[in-house]
Protein backbone atom coordinates (compact mmCIF):
# COMPACT_ATOMS: atom_id res chain seq x y z
CA UNK A 1 0.00 0.00 0.00
CA UNK A 2 1.91 3.02 -1.18
CA UNK A 3 -0.48 5.63 -2.45
CA UNK A 4 -3.45 7.63 -1.28
CA UNK A 5 -6.52 8.62 -3.19
CA UNK A 6 -9.19 11.16 -2.32
CA UNK A 7 -12.68 9.81 -2.70
CA UNK A 8 -15.49 11.75 -1.05
CA UNK A 9 -12.96 13.64 1.01
CA UNK A 10 -11.83 10.45 2.70
CA UNK A 11 -8.19 9.44 2.58
CA UNK A 12 -8.03 5.94 1.23
CA UNK A 13 -5.01 3.67 1.19
CA UNK A 14 -4.69 1.84 -2.12
CA UNK A 15 -2.00 -0.01 -4.00
CA UNK A 16 0.02 1.78 -6.70
CA UNK A 17 -1.70 -0.27 -9.40
CA UNK A 18 -5.15 0.75 -8.20
CA UNK A 19 -4.11 4.40 -7.92
CA UNK A 20 -2.88 4.24 -11.51
CA UNK A 21 -6.28 2.90 -12.64
CA UNK A 22 -8.11 5.59 -10.64
CA UNK A 23 -5.97 8.30 -12.24
CA UNK A 24 -6.53 6.84 -15.70
CA UNK A 25 -10.29 6.34 -15.54
CA UNK A 26 -11.35 8.92 -12.96
CA UNK A 27 -9.27 12.07 -13.44
CA UNK A 28 -9.52 14.18 -10.27
CA UNK A 29 -11.51 17.10 -11.67
CA UNK A 30 -14.40 15.59 -13.57
CA UNK A 31 -15.78 12.51 -11.86
CA UNK A 32 -19.47 13.20 -11.07
CA UNK A 33 -19.13 11.87 -7.51
CA UNK A 34 -16.39 14.38 -6.80
CA UNK A 35 -18.33 17.20 -8.45
CA UNK A 36 -21.30 16.33 -6.24
CA UNK A 37 -19.09 16.19 -3.12
CA UNK A 38 -17.54 19.59 -3.87
CA UNK A 39 -20.94 21.11 -4.66
CA UNK A 40 -22.36 19.94 -1.34
CA UNK A 41 -19.28 21.18 0.55
CA UNK A 42 -19.59 24.60 -1.11
CA UNK A 43 -23.08 24.97 0.33
CA UNK A 44 -22.32 23.73 3.84
CA UNK A 45 -21.66 25.74 6.96
CA UNK A 46 -20.58 24.18 10.27
CA UNK A 47 -23.99 24.90 11.87
CA UNK A 48 -25.98 23.12 9.14
CA UNK A 49 -28.22 20.09 9.40
CA UNK A 50 -27.59 17.77 6.47
CA UNK A 51 -29.91 15.07 5.20
CA UNK A 52 -28.86 12.31 2.84
CA UNK A 53 -31.81 10.70 1.11
CA UNK A 54 -31.22 7.02 0.28
CA UNK A 55 -27.91 6.84 2.13
CA UNK A 56 -27.57 3.06 1.75
CA UNK A 57 -26.65 0.39 4.29
CA UNK A 58 -23.39 2.05 5.42
CA UNK A 59 -24.10 5.76 4.78
CA UNK A 60 -20.58 6.06 3.39
CA UNK A 61 -21.21 9.35 1.58
CA UNK A 62 -22.99 10.99 4.50
CA UNK A 63 -20.20 10.02 6.90
CA UNK A 64 -17.67 11.83 4.70
CA UNK A 65 -19.22 15.08 5.95
CA UNK A 66 -18.39 14.45 9.61
CA UNK A 67 -16.94 17.58 11.17
CA UNK A 68 -18.24 19.76 8.35
CA UNK A 69 -21.84 20.16 9.60
CA UNK A 70 -23.58 20.21 12.97
CA UNK A 71 -25.93 17.30 12.36
CA UNK A 72 -25.90 14.45 9.83
CA UNK A 73 -29.10 12.53 9.14
CA UNK A 74 -29.58 9.69 6.68
CA UNK A 75 -32.78 8.03 5.56
CA UNK A 76 -33.24 4.83 3.61
CA UNK A 77 -35.68 1.96 3.28
CA UNK A 78 -33.02 -0.72 3.88
CA UNK A 79 -31.66 -2.09 7.17
CA UNK A 80 -28.41 -0.44 8.19
CA UNK A 81 -25.19 -2.43 8.52
CA UNK A 82 -23.53 0.12 10.79
CA UNK A 83 -24.02 2.03 14.03
CA UNK A 84 -22.29 5.40 14.16
CA UNK A 85 -22.87 7.79 17.04
CA UNK A 86 -22.09 10.79 14.86
CA UNK A 87 -24.88 10.18 12.37
CA UNK A 88 -28.62 9.63 12.77
CA UNK A 89 -29.90 6.86 10.52
CA UNK A 90 -33.65 6.58 10.03
CA UNK A 91 -35.86 4.10 8.23
CA UNK A 92 -37.92 6.46 6.10
CA UNK A 93 -39.10 6.49 2.51
CA UNK A 94 -38.24 9.58 0.47
CA UNK A 95 -41.94 10.11 -0.23
CA UNK A 96 -42.85 10.04 3.46
CA UNK A 97 -40.04 11.25 5.75
CA UNK A 98 -42.15 11.06 8.90
CA UNK A 99 -39.20 11.34 11.30
CA UNK A 100 -37.90 14.56 9.74
CA UNK A 101 -39.44 17.78 11.02
CA UNK A 102 -40.81 20.36 8.60
CA UNK A 103 -38.33 23.12 7.67
CA UNK A 104 -35.47 21.50 9.60
CA UNK A 105 -32.89 20.74 6.89
CA UNK A 106 -30.30 23.14 5.45
CA UNK A 107 -28.84 20.85 2.82
CA UNK A 108 -30.42 17.65 1.53
CA UNK A 109 -28.61 15.53 -1.00
CA UNK A 110 -29.01 12.24 -2.80
CA UNK A 111 -26.83 10.16 -5.08
CA UNK A 112 -28.34 7.57 -7.39
CA UNK A 113 -31.68 7.49 -5.57
CA UNK A 114 -34.32 9.73 -7.14
CA UNK A 115 -34.43 7.66 -10.32
CA UNK A 116 -35.67 4.79 -8.12
CA UNK A 117 -38.59 6.68 -6.59
CA UNK A 118 -41.94 5.43 -7.89
CA UNK A 119 -43.74 8.65 -6.96
CA UNK A 120 -41.34 11.39 -7.97
CA UNK A 121 -43.78 14.26 -7.33
CA UNK A 122 -44.35 13.01 -3.77
CA UNK A 123 -40.57 12.75 -3.32
CA UNK A 124 -39.98 16.37 -4.37
CA UNK A 125 -42.94 17.57 -2.34
CA UNK A 126 -41.57 15.83 0.77
CA UNK A 127 -38.13 17.29 0.09
CA UNK A 128 -39.61 20.74 -0.06
CA UNK A 129 -41.44 20.16 3.25
CA UNK A 130 -38.30 19.22 5.20
CA UNK A 131 -36.07 21.95 3.74
CA UNK A 132 -35.69 25.30 5.47
CA UNK A 133 -36.87 28.26 3.33
CA UNK A 134 -33.37 28.81 1.94
CA UNK A 135 -32.47 25.14 2.02
CA UNK A 136 -31.17 23.19 -0.95
CA UNK A 137 -31.60 19.74 -2.36
CA UNK A 138 -28.54 18.72 -4.37
CA UNK A 139 -28.85 15.47 -6.28
CA UNK A 140 -27.06 13.31 -8.78
CA UNK A 141 -28.80 10.69 -10.88
CA UNK A 142 -27.23 8.39 -13.46
CA UNK A 143 -28.39 8.52 -17.05
CA UNK A 144 -29.26 5.39 -19.00
CA UNK A 145 -25.72 4.97 -20.32
CA UNK A 146 -24.00 5.22 -16.94
CA UNK A 147 -21.89 2.07 -16.48
CA UNK A 148 -23.60 1.27 -13.18
CA UNK A 149 -27.03 1.42 -14.85
CA UNK A 150 -25.87 -0.84 -17.66
CA UNK A 151 -24.31 -3.37 -15.27
CA UNK A 152 -27.36 -3.28 -12.97
CA UNK A 153 -29.69 -3.87 -15.92
CA UNK A 154 -27.64 -6.89 -16.95
CA UNK A 155 -27.66 -8.54 -13.49
CA UNK A 156 -30.83 -10.39 -12.39
CA UNK A 157 -32.25 -9.00 -9.13
CA UNK A 158 -31.67 -12.23 -7.17
CA UNK A 159 -27.93 -12.07 -8.01
CA UNK A 160 -27.39 -8.46 -6.96
CA UNK A 161 -26.74 -9.13 -3.25
CA UNK A 162 -23.92 -11.70 -3.89
CA UNK A 163 -22.33 -9.33 -6.43
CA UNK A 164 -22.54 -6.45 -3.95
CA UNK A 165 -21.01 -8.65 -1.22
CA UNK A 166 -18.09 -9.53 -3.51
CA UNK A 167 -17.45 -5.87 -4.35
CA UNK A 168 -17.53 -4.92 -0.65
CA UNK A 169 -15.07 -7.71 0.14
CA UNK A 170 -12.67 -6.34 -2.47
CA UNK A 171 -13.00 -2.82 -1.07
CA UNK A 172 -12.27 -4.10 2.44
CA UNK A 173 -9.31 -6.05 1.18
CA UNK A 174 -7.92 -2.86 -0.38
CA UNK A 175 -8.38 -0.98 2.94
CA UNK A 176 -10.99 1.41 1.62
CA UNK A 177 -12.87 2.86 4.61
The distance of closest approach from Cβ of residue 140 to ligand SAM in the complex, given in angstroms and rounded to an integer, is 8
Binding map of ligand SAM across residues 16-35, x = CB under 6 A, - = no contact: --------------------
Contact 80, 60 (CB under 8 A): no
Q: Between 48 and 76, whose beta carbon lies closer to ligand SAM?
A: 76
What is residue 52's DSSP assignment? E
Q: Between 63 and 135, whose beta carbon lies closer to ligand SAM?
A: 63
What is d(CA 168, CA 177) in angstroms, rounded to the nearest whole number?
A: 10
Contact 59, 84 (CB under 8 A): yes
The distance of closest approach from Cβ of residue 174 to ligand SAM in the complex, given in angstroms and rounded to an integer, is 17
The distance of closest approach from Cβ of residue 20 to ligand SAM in the complex, given in angstroms and rounded to an integer, is 24
Site for ligand SAM in 78-137 (CB under 6 A): 78, 93-94, 111-113, 116-117
Q: How many CB atoms lie within 10 A of CB 113?
A: 20
Q: Between 14 and 55, whose beta carbon lies closer to ligand SAM?
A: 55
Q: Between 77 and 150, whose beta carbon lies closer to ligand SAM?
A: 77
Contact 52, 75 (CB under 8 A): yes
Q: Please identify which residue in 5, 56, 104, 122 interacts with ligand SAM, judged by CB under 6 A.
A: 56
Count of residues in the chain: 177
Strand order in the sheet with 105-111: 88-91, 71-76, 49-53, 105-111, 131-140
Residue numbers at the binding site for ligand SAM (CB under 6 A): 54-56, 61, 75-78, 93-94, 111-113, 116-117
Amino acid sequence: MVAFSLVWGISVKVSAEIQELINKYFPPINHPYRVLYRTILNHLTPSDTVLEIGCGRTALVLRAFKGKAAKLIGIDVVDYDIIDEEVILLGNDVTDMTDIATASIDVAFSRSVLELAHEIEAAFSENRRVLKPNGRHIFLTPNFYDYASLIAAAIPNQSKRPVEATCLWRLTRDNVH
